[in-house]
């Protein structure tokens, strides 16, 4: 089945640690995105990539980094510089801008 796989589903991080969230898609989509959701808020854009080896900052990129070395993969690293990383993270992809997005099931990150 085609789709987007995020792992892990739950992640616990100690203060000061970097963690990487995985996002893999087998839909042959060019564009991939990372969003963050906090309670009572909508999805906020962290980073997006329209093509391999290229990505752009979204609205809340500070404290995060990404790479896009393969079309299928768009990992997100939450660095120690991110002041409030506890949140729900969603990865999405689409054929390109202006088309419907497909989403993974999300990773819930908690700082302990």
Partner 1 sequence: ILNVEQSPQSLHVQEGDSTNFTCSFPSSNFYALHWYRWETAKSPEALFVMTLNGDEKKKGRISATLNTKEGYSYLYIKGSQPEDSATYLCAFDTGRRALTFGSGTRLQVQP
With binding defined as CB under 8 A, does residue 99 bind partner 1?
yes
Q: How far is the CB of 16 from partner 1 (least distance, A)?
A: 29
With binding defined as CB under 8 A, does residue 7 bind partner 1?
no
Binding mask of the shown chain, residues 35 to 74, with x at each position contacting partner 1 by CB under 8 A: x----xxxxxx--x-------x-xx---------------
Spacing of C-alpha 57 from chain mean position = 12
Instruction: Decide if 34 contacts 73 (C-beta within 8 A).
Output: no
With binding defined as CB under 8 A, does residue 2 bind partner 1?
no
- Rounded to whole angstroms, the maximal C-alpha distance in the chain is 38
């Amino acid at each position: 089945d085609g789709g987007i796989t995020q792992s892990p589903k739950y992640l616990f991080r100690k203060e000061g640690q970097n963690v990487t969230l995985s996002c893999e898609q087998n839909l042959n989509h060019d564009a991939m995105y990372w969003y963050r959701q906090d309670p009572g808020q909508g999805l906020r854009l962290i980073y997006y990539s329209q093509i391999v080896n290229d990505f752009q900052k979204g609205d809340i990129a500070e404290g995060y980094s990404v790479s896009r070395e393969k079309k299928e993969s768009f990992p997100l690293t939450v660095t120690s510089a991110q002041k409030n990383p506890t949140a729900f993270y969603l990865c999405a992809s689409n054929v390109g801008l202006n088309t419907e997005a497909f989403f993974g099931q999300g990773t819930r990150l908690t700082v302990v």
